[in-house]
Homo-oligomer: A and B are copies of this chain.
């Protein structure tokens, strides 16, 4: 499970029977780049997520979630304190959210 985002994009693209060469130009990149993105070797730019969601007729929220999860995973993978760090981050997140209400 390299990149959840990439794998999902590939699945969606295949479901739509689209080739890299058809999708890549819509994102203003070449097939090589999109291939790398699907394999998790590169990151799609955050602001392109709604675009690719529309192309693949998928939920932007779902893809954003997977994309963010990949970023988070990158930070903590191989880290001994990964779980603890996630807990702390989550608490901070909820703390801030409560304040904003």
Interface residues, chain A, CB within 8 Å of chain B?
Answer: 1, 4, 61, 64-73, 75-77, 79-86, 88-90, 92-93, 95-96
A64/B76 in contact, CB under 8 A? no
A81–B77 Cα gap in the complex (Å)?
Answer: 20
Given A69-B85, A75-B71, A92 and B1 contact (CB-CB distance below 8 Å): yes
Interfacial chain B residues near A79, Cβ < 8 Å? 64, 68
Q: Is chain A's interface secondary structure helix, strand, loop, or mixed overall?
A: helix
How many monomers of this chain does the complex have? Answer: 2
Given A4-B88, A72-B89, A83-B90, 6 more pairs with CB closer than 8 A: A1-B95, A4-B92, A64-B85, A65-B85, A66-B85, A76-B89
Interfacial chain B residues near A66, Cβ < 8 Å? 85, 88
A1/B81 in contact, CB under 8 A? no
Pick from B4, B69, B75, B80: contact of A61, CB under 8 Å = B80
Q: Give A70's nearest chain B residue, CB to CB.
A: B89
